[in-house]
A and B are shown apart, each in its own frame.
Chain A
Amino acid sequence: MIGKSLRWLTAVLLLAAGSGCNREQTYPARPLTVICPWAAGGGTDRVSRQLAAQLEQRLGVPVNVINATGGGGVTGHTRGAQARPDGYTVTVITPELNLLHWRGLTNITYRNFDPLVCVNGDAAALFVAADSPYQTPAEVLAAVRDGDQRMRASGSAFGSIWHVAFAGWLDAEGIAPDEVIWVSLGGSAPAMQELLAGGVDVVCASIPEAESLLSAGKVRCLAVMGSERMPDYGDVPTLRELGSDWTLTGWRGVALPNGVPPARRDKLLAELNEIVQGREYQQFLEQSGFAPLPLDSEGFAALLRDSDDQYGVVLQSEAFQGVQQQRFGPYLFPTLVAGALAVVFAVLAIAGGWRRPSELPQPTARGIFRVAMVIGSVLVYALVAEQVGFVLIAAVLLGVNLLMLGAPLRSVVLLSVLVPPVVYQIFAGFMRVSLPAGWLGW
C-alpha cells in the first residue's frame, strides 16, 4: 500500500517540477498580481480588472487582482510599495498615495513607486440635488459667505481627494474650508444617496460617479474642476471659465515598486502602453464613463510630483487643520463600548453567569497539546507560506495534523500529496484567487 502511495508521490512531484521549474529565464514565467487598494465593485477595481484581463492575453500568464482594502488606501499602497521588486507585483495607485502621508498616516509616498502609465483621470465636479436653489458655483459661494446656516457638503471620507478638491476651491475663493461642514461619508455613492435624502447640500465627486443620477435628472452638475469641459456634458462649465483658477483631477495609474530589473520594467511598460492606447481599453473607458488621461511614464511622474505639492498645500493649511477639530473624538465610541463591556462582565460575574457550565468536558493534556499543534500550524503557515509556497506548506501541515490525530498512514500520505495541488489548481487556476507560489513556482 505504501509502495503504491510512494509511486503517486513521485508522479505528483515530477509533475510539479515539470510545471514549475527552469522557466525563470523568461519573464513572465508565473502569474502576476495586480494590487487594487479598493474594494471589489468600485471604479478602481473595474479599471484594475480590465487591465488585468488584457495583460493576461498579452503576457500569456494568469494576472490576478487582489483587493488589498482597508485603512483608507494605506493597506494596498503599503503592500504595493513593499512588494518584492521582481516585476510580478504591480499596483494600481490612486491619489490617496499623495494624501495619506501628509496626514501622518503612512510613510509611503509616490517616491516609493516607479510609475509606469496613467490609465484614467476624472476631474472633480460640484453637484446639487435637482430641487436645490443653487444654479451656479457663485451662488454656492454666496450662500457659504452669507447663509444663516452652515452649509453641509460631502463626496467621500474626510481628507479624501474630493474633500481636498472642495476645500482647495473654497480656499482659492478666499473662504476658510471650515466654514462648511464636511460630512465624512464612505464614498461617493453614499454621498449621492445623502444628497437625495437631503442630508447634505453639495456633493463634490467625479462625473462618472453620478452618471445615472445625472441622466435621471435627480441631481445637477454645476461645474467641473478640469481644464476643459467634458465631451459628454458639454453644457457644464469649468470653474476656470467662471473665473476661478482652481483645477483638480483625480487619477489612476499603474506603478511598480522601486528596483525592478530594467528589462522586466520595459517589457511591462511596453505592454501597458499598448493596452492603454488600444481601442479595446479606450472603448472600456468610454462605456464606463471614465475619462482618459494619456500620460507616459515621465508625464505620470510629473503629475505625481505636482499633485503631491497641490494636496500638501491644502492639507497643511491652517484652515484645513481647523476642520479636523471634532466634537466627538475617535476614542469616544471605544470608551463607551469598553465601559459597557466592563459593566456587563461584572453583572455576569456576580450573578454567576461567567462560570463554566459543569457539563462541559474538561480539557485533557493530550487535548491541550493538539490545540497547541493546530495554533502552531496556523502560525507556521502565516510565517513561511509566502516563501515556501502554498502546495508544499499545505502538504506538510496537512500531513502533520493528520498524523497527530491518528489517521491511517495510507490516507495521510494520499491526502497530503493530492489535496494541496488539487486545491491550488482550483483556486489559483480556475478561480483566479491568489495563493502563494513559492519554491515549486506553482
Chain B
Amino acid sequence: MEMILTALEQVFLDPRVWIVCLLSAVYGIFIGAVPGLTATMAVALFVPMTFWMDDLLSITAIVTMTACAIFAGDVPTALLRIPGTPASAAYADQMYALTQRGRASSALCVSLVHSVVGGLLGAVVLIFLGRSLAGYAAEFSVAEYFWLYLLGLSSAVVVTRGPALKALFGLLVGLMLATVGLSAVHASPRFTFGQPELYQGINFIPAMIGLFGLSEILANLLSSGRETAAATGAAPAASDSSLWGALAVAGRKLKSRFLGVGRSGAVGAAIGTLPGAGADIAAWVSLAASRRGPDQDLEEQELADVADAATANSAALAGAWIPSLVFGIPGDSVTAMVIGVLLMKNITPGPTIYENNGALVYSIYLMFILANLMLIPVGLLAIRLGGLVVRIPKRVLLPIILLFCLIGAFAINGSYFDVYTMLGCGVLGLILDRRQIPLGPVVLGIVLGGAVEERFIQAVTAADGSPLALVSRPVSVVLALLCLGLWSWRIFSHWYRPGVNSFSKP
C-alpha cells in the first residue's frame, strides 16, 4: 500500500514526469508516422539519453513513445497506404479504403480511441495478471512457437474478404521472399548468388514500404490521362465531417461492440506476453478471431476491423512487459532495451523486482495509464495535421511520398540494398495489386517466414529428427488443434456458403 502511494506521488505529482511524457508522446508520434522508422528505432535512438536521466523518467519516456508510435503507424497507413509499422499492415487495405471514400478522420479516430482502450486493457492485464501469465509464457518452447506462427499465417488467409486462394497466393509469395539470404538455422546462404549484400535477405520494412507505398504511387501514375482526377487532380473528397464528428463515430463503435473490443484486447495481451510474438501477430489473430459474416454494411465492417486490430496491437505492448519484468526475458525488441536501461540503473528485472523495487513497478503500471491518456490529445493533433496531407493535390504529394519512401527504406539500416528491395517490392506490389492479390499477407509472410521455418527445424532437431515433437506437449496440441479448426472452418464455410469462392470482386 505504501508503495502504491509512493508510486502515485512519483508519477502524478512530479512535473518532470508530465513534461517528459508530453515530449516523448510528440516524439513517438513523429517517429511512428514516418514510414520506415519503428517504435524500436524510436527507443534505440533515445537510449543514450537515459544515461543522464533517472529510472522513472527513462521508463516514462519509453512507455509513452512506444504507445504513441504504434498508434502513429496508422496515420500514414490511412492517408498514404504506407503502414508505419508492420502491426498496421494487417488492416492497411481497410483503412485506405475508408480514406478513399473520404472517411480518413473516422478511420483514424476509431484507431486512436481503440488504441487507447487497447493500451489500457493491456495495462490492466499487466497489473492484475502479470505474475500468473508469466508462468504460461515460460511454457512455450519452439514447438509451441511453431504452431503460434502458423496460426498467425493462417489468420492472414482466413481474414481476407476476397477469395482465400488469392490471399494464400500472397502469403506464399511472402514466404518465398523470406527464404532469400543466410538461413539462420542452417547457417547456409540461399538464393544469394554469391553476393554479400543478399546475405541480409529481404528486410520487411523496405519491403513493406515498397509493396504498399511505392506500388500505390505507381498504380496512381500507370493509368494517368484516363482518370485525371485520380492521378494528378485533387485528392479524394476532403475528409469527412469534423474531428468531433469522427470522434463520435469512434465512440459509437466502441459502445456498440464492448465484447469484441474485450476479446481483441485479451488476444493482444496474451500474444504480446509471449517473447517472440508481438503486435503484428496480435493484429492478425484478433482479426481472425472476430471475423464477421458478410451481412453487415461494408463500411461498418471495415471500421470494426480497424477497431479490433488497433485494440490488439496496443494491448500487445503492455503484454511484452510481463516476461521482461517477471523473468528478465525480453518480450520484444523494445523491452529488450528497457531491460538494458534498468540494469544500468542497478535494477535487476526478475521476480525480485517486486520486492526490491516495488514502488517502481507500481510506477510503471501507472505510467501505462498516463501514457495512454496522453495519447488522446497528442493523437488528435496528429490526426488534425494528417488531415492537411489529404488536401495536397496528388501531383505535388506523390513526388514527396516518393522521397519519404526512399528515406524510409534507407534510414533503418543505412543500406542501398534496402532501396533496391523497396523498388523490387514496389513493382511486385503493383503487379499483385492489379490481380487483386491482397498485400497484407505478403508482408506477414516476409515477417514470419524465417521464424516459422526455424521453429519447425529447431523443434524437430531437438527431438533428434522426429516430427512428433511438434505435438508432444499439451500446449502445442491445443495450438495445433486451433490451427486445424481455423482451416477446417474456412473450408467448411466455403462449401456451406456458395459464392464466397467466386473470383469476382467481393
**Binding site of B, secondary structure by majority: helix, strand, loop or mixed?**
helix
CB contacts under 8 Å to B, within A382-396, are 382, 385-386, 394
Q: Is B141 an interface residue when CB atoms closer than 8 A count as contact?
A: yes
- B351 shortest CB reach to chain A, Å: 5
Q: Is B263 an interface residue when CB atoms closer than 8 A count as contact?
A: no
Across the interface, which residues of A come within 8 angstroms of B465, CB to CB?
327
CB contacts under 8 Å to B, within A309-358, are 326-331, 333-334, 337-338, 340-341, 344-345, 347-348, 351-357
Across the interface, which residues of A come within 8 angstroms of B381, CB to CB?
none
Q: Which of A117-125, A165-173, A186-194 sits within the interface?
A: A186-194
CB < 8 Å neighbour of B168 from A211, A344, A398: A344
Across the interface, which residues of A come within 8 angstroms of B334, CB to CB?
41
Q: Which of A6-14, A46-54, A240-248, A291-299 sits within the interface?
A: A46-54
| B199 close to A70 (CB less than 8 A) | yes
| A334 with B176, Cβ < 8 A, contacts A41-B333, A200-B462 known | yes
Across the interface, which residues of B come within 8 angstroms of A432, CB to CB?
45
- B325 shortest CB reach to chain A, Å: 10
Q: Is A429 an interface residue when CB atoms closer than 8 A count as contact?
A: no
| A337 with B179, Cβ < 8 A, contacts A67-B413, A432-B45 known | yes
- A156 shortest CB reach to chain B, Å: 10
| A341 close to B176 (CB less than 8 A) | yes
| A406 close to B141 (CB less than 8 A) | no
Across the interface, which residues of A come within 8 angstroms of B351, CB to CB?
216-217
Q: How far, in whole Å, are A333 and B460 apart by their CA atoms in the complex?
A: 14
Q: Is B429 an interface residue when CB atoms closer than 8 A count as contact?
A: no
- B36 shortest CB reach to chain A, Å: 9
| A338 with B184, Cβ < 8 A, contacts A53-B48, A70-B199, A364-B225 known | no
CB < 8 Å neighbour of B346 from A287, A338, A340, A411: A287
CB < 8 Å neighbour of B31 from A46, A74, A341, A431: A431
Q: How far, in whole Å, are A356 and B431 apart by their CA atoms in the complex?
A: 10
Across the interface, which residues of B come within 8 angstroms of A19, CB to CB?
none
Across the interface, which residues of A come within 8 angstroms of B303, CB to CB?
none
| A405 close to B343 (CB less than 8 A) | no
Q: Is B227 an interface residue when CB atoms closer than 8 A count as contact?
A: yes
| A46 with B176, Cβ < 8 A, contacts A184-B184, A351-B503, A385-B416 known | no
| A185 with B458, Cβ < 8 A, contacts A66-B414, A105-B189, A196-B138 known | yes
Across the interface, which residues of A come within 8 angstroms of B223, CB to CB?
361-364, 367
Q: How far, in whole Å, are A197 and B458 apart by their CA atoms in the complex?
A: 14
- B420 shortest CB reach to chain A, Å: 6
| A407 close to B395 (CB less than 8 A) | yes
| A72 with B187, Cβ < 8 A, contacts A189-B329, A212-B348 known | yes
| B200 close to A352 (CB less than 8 A) | no
Q: Is A421 an interface residue when CB atoms closer than 8 A count as contact?
A: no
Q: How far, in whole Å, are A398 and B402 apart by their CA atoms in the complex?
A: 8
Q: How far, in whole Å, are A433 and B406 apart by their CA atoms in the complex?
A: 13
Q: Is B166 an interface residue when CB atoms closer than 8 A count as contact?
A: yes
Q: How far, in whole Å, are A338 and B453 apart by their CA atoms in the complex?
A: 14
Across the interface, which residues of A come within 8 angstroms of B337, CB to CB?
40-41, 46
| B453 close to A333 (CB less than 8 A) | yes
| A159 with B176, Cβ < 8 A, contacts A41-B333, A152-B462 known | no
Scan B201-220; emit 1 where CB is below 8 A from any A CB, else 0. 10100000000001001100
Scan B131-168; emit 1 where CB is below 8 A from any A CB, else 0. 00000001111111000000000000000000101101
Q: How far, in whole Å, are A361 and B224 apart by their CA atoms in the complex?
A: 9
B326 and chain A: residue at smallest CB distance: A216
Q: Is A183 an interface residue when CB atoms closer than 8 A count as contact?
A: yes
| A197 with B138, Cβ < 8 A, contacts A41-B333, A68-B413, A337-B176 known | yes
Q: Is A401 an interface residue when CB atoms closer than 8 A count as contact?
A: yes
| A341 close to B182 (CB less than 8 A) | no
Across the interface, which residues of A come within 8 angstroms of B426, CB to CB?
375, 378
Across the interface, which residues of B come within 8 angstroms of A406, CB to CB?
232, 395
| A199 with B141, Cβ < 8 A, contacts A66-B413, A328-B460 known | yes
| A356 close to B434 (CB less than 8 A) | yes
CB < 8 Å neighbour of A49 from B48, B138, B460, B462: B48
Q: How far, in whole Å, are A336 and B399 apart by their CA atoms in the complex?
A: 40
| A184 close to B343 (CB less than 8 A) | no
- A372 shortest CB reach to chain B, Å: 10
| A364 close to B226 (CB less than 8 A) | yes
Q: How far, in whole Å, are A407 and B181 apart by their CA atoms in the complex?
A: 41
Q: How far, in whole Å, are A245 and B411 apart by their CA atoms in the complex?
A: 46
Interface size for A (C-beta < 8 A) is: 119
Scan B362-390; emit 1 where CB is below 8 A from any A CB, else 0. 00000000000000000000000000000
| B328 close to A212 (CB less than 8 A) | yes
| A74 close to B182 (CB less than 8 A) | yes
Q: How far, in whole Å, are A372 and B120 apart by their CA atoms in the complex?
A: 47
| B343 close to A75 (CB less than 8 A) | no
Scan A36-48; emit 1 where CB is below 8 A from any B CB, else 0. 0001111001100
Q: Is B80 an interface residue when CB atoms closer than 8 A count as contact?
A: no
- B63 shortest CB reach to chain A, Å: 16
Scan A53-96; emit 1 where CB is below 8 A from any B CB, else 0. 10000000000011111111011001100000000000000000
| A405 with B395, Cβ < 8 A, contacts A196-B327, A337-B175, A357-B505 known | yes
B396 and chain A: residue at smallest CB distance: A407
| A70 close to B201 (CB less than 8 A) | yes
Q: Is A263 an interface residue when CB atoms closer than 8 A count as contact?
A: no
Q: Is A145 an interface residue when CB atoms closer than 8 A count as contact?
A: no
Q: Is B486 an interface residue when CB atoms closer than 8 A count as contact?
A: no
Across the interface, which residues of B come within 8 angstroms of A330, CB to CB?
183, 186, 188, 190
| A189 with B344, Cβ < 8 A, contacts A216-B327, A423-B403 known | no
Closest 6 CB pairs of A and B: A212-B328, A70-B200, A71-B199, A216-B350, A199-B141, A40-B44
A-B contact pairs, 13 of them (CB 8 A): A71-B182, A78-B196, A158-B186, A198-B141, A330-B183, A374-B218, A378-B423, A378-B426, A398-B403, A405-B232, A406-B232, A433-B37, A435-B411
Binding site for A on B (CB under 8 A): 31, 37, 40-41, 43-45, 47-48, 51, 138-144, 163, 165-166, 168-169, 172-173, 175-176, 179, 181-191, 196-197, 199-201, 203, 214, 217-218, 221-227, 230-232, 275-276, 327-330, 333-334, 336-337, 339-340, 343-346, 348-352, 393-396, 398-400, 402-403, 406-407, 410-416, 419-420, 422-423, 426-427, 430, 434-436, 453-454, 456-462, 464-465, 503, 505
Seed contacts A328-B460, A401-B402, A434-B411; 20 additional CB < 8 Å A-B pairs? A45-B44, A72-B184, A75-B196, A75-B415, A103-B187, A189-B329, A213-B327, A287-B346, A288-B344, A327-B461, A331-B190, A334-B191, A357-B436, A363-B223, A366-B224, A366-B225, A405-B396, A406-B232, A415-B396, A427-B411
